[in-house]
Structure 1
Amino acid sequence: MRVALAVEYDGSGFRGWQQQPGGGTVQDALQEALQQFARVPLHVVCAGRTDAGVHALGQVVHFDTTLERSMYSWVRGANTFLPPAVAVRWAQRVPADFHARSSASSRHYRYVLLNRMHRSGTWHGRVAWHHHPLDLQRMQEAAAMLLGERDFSAFRAAECQAISPVKIMQRADIRRHGDLVVLDFVATAFLHHMVRNLVGSLVAIGQGRHHPQWIGELLASRDRRLAAPTFPAAGLYLIAVNYPARWGLPTDDASDFLSLLPVTGPATAATP
């Protein structure tokens, strides 16, 4: 039997998703919890490997087992043994040819940036911070150039192992909610550090250091050295992994996450 799980986690205290020597990863925590519940080792495969400090509300994994358990039991059992910063949201039996990574049609990442003079103590590790005023109209104009099929080599980390840098960007939205600037990206797949590198360059444009057309120039250059530095992991969330309807997975993508943040004003496209 193949089972899919949706997992959410606060990545602040983990060394990223991927299992590695010395432990301390989200995958380690999840597999240990499943083993304690099932009393046999279980290996999970994820939809997207998140880096150290990156959070997730809708990470999807799958594993194979010969054990007969209800889906409710898998959720309750895993959560009983997981640390407080990790929780399973749902479990679903899936066909044997389902694959958490290769069956996905798109991923939704959100970057949350606190844009005010002083940093936050309460939201340390959960949002990034930038103290210079940002022009959202310039950032939105630049983000529009990311849509469609593009070669994102200029926003690719040197250690990225993806076969191709060409991805299809389906959505690139930027909004302001009070002191928060929220950047949403949906694409077929993402390169290593791609979102954080995009945010760095969009912020440079919003700050007035470059014109909006600079994004197009970076895409054409395919040169990572020309783009802005990588932004911190703290503000990045894997909101959802989307699948074709034929797999029958739940569609609650946790996109209402913004309501959990300390928003202090209506959404607007203009810089206050």
Structure 2
Amino acid sequence: MHTIKLVLEYDGTNYAGWQIQPNGISVQQVVEEALARLLKEPVRVHSSGRTDAGVHARGMVAAFTTAKGLPMRAFSDGLNALLPPDIAVMEALEAPDGFNPRFDAAGKHYRYTIHRGERRSPLCRHYVWHARETLDLAAMEKGASHMVGEHDFASFRTAGCAARTTVRRIDAVDLALEGDLLHIDVKGSGFLRNMVRIMVGTLVEVGRGRRSADDVALLFRYPGERFAGPTAPPQGLCLMEVYY
């Protein structure tokens, strides 16, 4: 058997998330259907994680096994010919036996993008959160500094999160301006359900002056007992890379 590793890029606007589910078409479903056409057999694809409806990816890693020894171009160019325009295989390679894209991952890099322009942008509406208010970036950076390190992120997950432990290690939370866009890059060992979006929502509250930067530290001192900020909209989030 061959284990094939795929690096996928997709626009999540028209999908109900990565994982197959009954309430809509998922990215996983579309990829598996394309693979089944290519290989002439059912295929189960396992990913490095899940993205919610409307969330995008530049570097989602997935893997599957097959007995067919096709050249790697069949799993990149060949598969791309069967995929819709909003999903593409960026890289395909044979992985070692037993490779697990989720459990073998050492870390992930997410980017959240906020549009700070006075007026909304129709052309980037699917990829940003339009925040009209002026944001105090210095305060947001101070708040972000409290998120770096190993903490209990119990206050930064949504209902339904089934994680056994809420302790996670965050290696960096960096803010960078690009014209009217504010990118928030979050890198860490792993993430809870909606954790990055709640981190961003909390930082935006800090930037708007609705909570202090030091209040972020209290969310870790009393995990699960104090409320973090709102969950930022999905369209601003993109999975950039998975590290192994």
Residue aligning to 1:255: none
Q: Offset at 1:48?
A: 1.3
Q: CA deviation at 1:162?
A: 1.3
Deviations 1:161-217 (A, max 9, x none): 111111110111012221111100011000000000000010000111111101101
Where do 1:116-131 residues align within 5 Å?
116-131=117-132
The one-letter amino acid paired with 1:136 is L
How many residue pairs get matched?
Answer: 243
Please list the CA deviations of residues 216-272 of structure 1 after superposition, one character each: whole Å capped at 9, or x if unmatched.
0112221276111111001000000000xxxxxxxxxxxxxxxxxxxxxxxxxxxxx
Letter in structure 2 aligned against 1:163: R
- 3-state SS of the aligned residue for 1:146? coil
Q: Which residue of 2 aligns with 1:181?
A: 182
SS at match of 2:191: coil
Tell me the secondary structure at the aligned position of residue 53 of structure 2.
coil
- The within-5 A match list for 1:18-167 is 18-21=19-22, 23-167=24-168
Partner of 1:268: none
Residue type at the aligned position of 2:103: S
Structure 2 CA distance for aligned equivalents of residues 57 and 224 of structure 1: 35
Code of the residue aligned with 2:188 in structure 1: it is: A
Q: Give the Cα separation in 2 of the matches to 1:27 and 1:236.
A: 18
How far apart, CA to CA, are the structure 2 residues paired with 1:19 and 1:54? 15
Aligned to 2:204: 203
**What is the alpha-carbon distance in structure 2 between the residues aligned to residue 87 and residue 176 of structure 1?**
28
Structure 2 counterparts to residues 169-248 of structure 1, below 5 A: 169-223=170-224, 226-243=227-244
Aligned to 1:261: none
Unmatched 5+ stretches in structure 1: 244-272
Which region of structure 1 is more displaced relative to structure 2, 192-201 or 118-127?
118-127
Specify the SS of the correspondent of 1:237: strand
The runs of at least 4 aligned residues of structure 1 exceeding 2 Å deviation read none
What is the rounded CA distance, in whole Å, between the counterparts of 2:29 and 2:50 in structure 1? 13
One-letter identity of the residue aligned with 1:134: L
Gaps of 5+ in 2: none
Moved more, 73-82 or 44-53: 73-82
Report the secondary structure of 2:16's partner residue. coil
| AA partner of residue 236 (structure 1) | L
Query: Structure 2 CA distance, aligned partners of 1:38 and 1:144?
Result: 48
1: CA distance, partners of 2:220 / 2:226: 12
Residue 98 of structure 1: how far off its partner (Å): 1.1
Alpha-carbon distance in structure 2 between the residues aligned to 1:200 and 1:154: 12
TM-score (norm 2): 0.97
Matched residue SS, 2:124: coil
* TM-score, length-scaled by structure 1: 0.87
> Structure 2: which amino acid aligns with 1:126?
Y
Counterpart position of 1:254: none
Mapped to 2, the partners of 1:185 and 1:230 lie a distance apart of: 15
Cα distance in 2 for partners of 1:101, 1:227 equals 27
Three-state SS of the structure 2 residue aligned to 1:226 is coil
Residue identity over aligned pairs, in percent, reads 39
How many Å apart are 1:21 and its aligned residue? 2.2
Q: For residues 222 and 202 of structure 1, what CA distance do their matches in structure 2 show?
A: 17
Provide the rounded CA distance (Å) in 1 between the counterparts of 2:165 and 2:207. 29
**2:16 touches 2:23 (CA, 8 Å); kept in 1?**
no
- Could you tell which deviates more after superposition, 53-62 or 117-126? 117-126
Using the TM superposition, name which of 20-29 and 67-76 deviates more.
Answer: 20-29
